[in-house]
Structure formats: structure tokens, C-alpha cells
Amino acid sequence: MAKENSTPDAAAPWATKRNLQGAHLLRRSLPWLGGIGLIALIVWGLWPKPIEIESGVVAKSPLTVFVSEEGKTRVRNRYVVAATVAGKMRRIPLKPGDAVTAESTILTYIEPVVAPLLDPRARLQAEALVSIQEAAQKKAKESLDATRTALQRAESERARIANVKIAGMISVSDRERIEAEASIKAAEVRAMEFSLQISDYELAQARAALTRPAVNPTENAVEMKSPVSGVVLKVMQESETIVAPGTGLLEIGDPSDLEIEAEILSRDAVSIKIGDAVAIEQWGSPQALKGRVRRVEPAAFTKVSALGVEEQRVIVLVDLVDPPAAAKALGDRYRVEARIAIWHADEVLVVPASALFREGNTWKTYRYEQGKAYLTTIEVGHSDGRLSEVNKGLKEGDRVLLHPPDSVKDQSSVVERTQN
């Protein structure tokens, strides 16, 4: 009967025990599996990831080295018109930009200066001088009367001896003395007449110091005409005023005849030669103007920079070459940017300058190859600020890191940044 009541689906005792042991083992291994997973996540999180970088290519390319500096335009030939005489200058009617014609356009007139006013002391001195000259005039008149009387006596004596016909009555020496005395008295009369004239002139001069005669502008004004044809660049003295000889009145020049003046650092100026090509930029148009170096002045001068540093600079003059019609808008003292080519090669091995950095006195870069960055020492030649000539250390086709971050070291894992 016991065998009949047992069913085939009834589990054996040992089977039930085996299942309980498997579930217990699974529960015991779950913390270990979680710990292992957590450690794996930590290791994966701490594992160094490749650094994102930008790369450039070493290639052969033309290279031109420029010296760039701010410059300004200036009229090639400037003429400063100055006062030729002293006097009162009339107001100049011309304005900057007005055209003038040589020996035709009247710039202004210069009139004689009215006599200055006398202060009380000067007037007393002038009146006293008039009195002195009046007294001197009276003295001269009296002296003239005395010499004329003496002349009359001498001429009477000469006439008396001339009427003596008896030989031997008057000696030869007395006759000669009387003749000479008459001649001397006549000369003294003439001298006193001249002295009286001088006294009259001195008296008139002394009296003139007390008067203020009117000035006739029509008769006495001096015309100031333009010496050259051109345009008024600057009026230095516009209002009516008293001027001295040599006082600058205005500047005249031809604004269509311009040159470029650039103040170059002396260390860069030694590389500039007459005839070097120049690109004139930042003048108000995206199209660069062409120019040629005409002169490098031999003497430098000291200039203080905006940071307060003393610099030695040299003036370099540049001529424009075939300027376009738009360049006629340029005027005197306009700001421009001058880029002077001091070196050129048609084909050299170049590397982007942003890939280079210095360690001590050597240039280095990071070469990018198969996901690694390799620190490489190179020799650099000429540079235009954007590209640098490679003399040694790299070959054509090598890839280099551009703007390498500080986290990049030798043989660091890197990956090129994808462009979005």
C-alpha cells in the first residue's frame, strides 16, 4: 500500500537538498561579483584616455618673411610758406583742401605795423629829445651865421689885395695866405650848411617819434602768393596777427603724390634693402597696395613704446607702385600697415608655427604617429609667424600636434579631434 500511495512526481530527499545548496552558493557569490564589477568600473574610469588634439602636416611650400609695422602716408614734397617781411598779416581765407596755383593765388597780405603807443616815460624822453634837437638846430644856425661873417671878411680881404697893383706892396706869402683863408672860410660855410640840414633831419626824426601816422594798406601792403601749385595741407596761422620774418603761415603740397613712412625697429631694419617689395594693408580696403622700399635712413632715433620701453627705430620710406583709383582717397598722415618682404624662397620644408615650442634654446614639437605623440627636437630657419622653415628633425608628410596642451607628454596617447 505504501508503494501505491507514492507518486512519480514526488521529489527525492537528496534532490531537494541539492537545489538548496545551489541557491545558497549563488547568494554568497553575488557580493563578490558586485565588488569585481565595481573594481572594473573604477579601473575603466581611471584608465588614461587618449588626449584630443589637432594636427598639421609638414610640407613643402613657398615662404616669404615679412617685417610688419604701422606706418603713415605723407606728401612727398611739402612747402611751408613763411612771412617774408614783418608786419600785420591779414586773415588767411584759405582752408585745408583748397587748391592753389603757383604765382597766381594770393594767400594773404602783410601790412606795415602801426606805430606803438608811448608810455608816459617814453613820451617825456621823446619830448626831451625834440627839445635837444631844436637847440642843436639853433646852434647850427648861429654857427652858420658866424662862418658866413668870417667868409665875408675873408673875401673882402682877398678883394682888397687883388686891387693892389704896385709890385712889392704885398708879399707872395701874404697873398697866398689870404687866398687860402678865404677858401677855408667858404668850406666852413658849406660844412655848417650841411650841419644845419642834419640838425633839421634829426629834429624831424625826434618829432616823428611823438606822432602815429596813418597806414595806407593799399600802397604799403605786401602780397603773399603761393610759390607752387597744389592743395593747402595745413593753415598754421589763420587769424590776423603781427608776424615776424620767417613765421610759418601754411603748408602746401600735392596729396596725390604720396609715400609711406614706417618706423621700423633697428634690428629689423638691417635686413631691409632698397627695392624690397612691400604690401600696404589696413588702409581702408581689403585689397593690399603694392610698394617698393625707396630709402632706409642711416640714423636711428629713440622712441618710447606704449609699455614705456625705449626702442631704437629707423624711418623707412616706401613708394607706391601702380596704385588703384581707390587709393586716391588716401590723404596726408593716414595710418596704414606696411609688410616688407625681407626673405623669400619658392619651395622649402615648412611646419605650422603653432606646433613649435621652446625648451631652453632648442625648438621642439610633438610628432603624431599611430595614436602616439613623440617629442621631437628640430632646427628652425626662417618664419613668417604662420609657417616656419624646418632645417632638421622632420620630413615631408610628417604630422605634428597643433597647440599641444600641457597634458601631452612624450609617447602620450592622443586622438585627433573630430570636426563637428
pLDDT value at residue 6: 47
> For the chain, which residues make up each domain, given as ranges?
52-64+347-416, 66-73+255-342, 79-112+223-253, 120-208
- Residue 381 is which amino acid? G
Q: For 144-200, what is each residue's pLDDT tens digit?
A: 889 888 888 888 888 887 777 666 667 778 778 888 888 888 888 889 889 889 988
Pairing mode, strands 230-235 and 248-253:
antiparallel
Q: Which fold has domain 52-64+347-416?
A: 2.40.420
Average pLDDT of the segment spanning 289-300? 95
Q: Which fold has domain 66-73+255-342?
A: Elongation Factor Tu (Ef-tu); domain 3 (2.40.30)
CB-based burial label for 239 (10 Å; 0-12, 13-18, 19+): exposed
Average pLDDT of the segment spanning 293-304? 95
Average pLDDT of the segment spanning 388-397? 92
Q: For 353-362, what is each residue's pLDDT tens digit?
A: 999 999 888 9
Count H helices and E strands in the chain, helices first: 6, 22
Q: Which fold has domain 79-112+223-253?
A: OB fold (Dihydrolipoamide Acetyltransferase, E2P) (2.40.50)
Cell numbers placing 224? 603773399
Q: For 61-115, what is each residue's pLDDT tens digit?
A: 999 999 999 999 999 999 999 999 998 999 999 999 999 999 999 999 998 887 7
pLDDT value at residue 21: 63
Q: What secondary structure letter does DSSP report for 355?
A: G
116-133 core/surface letters (b: 16 or more CB in 10 A; e: else): eeeeeeeeeebeebbeeb
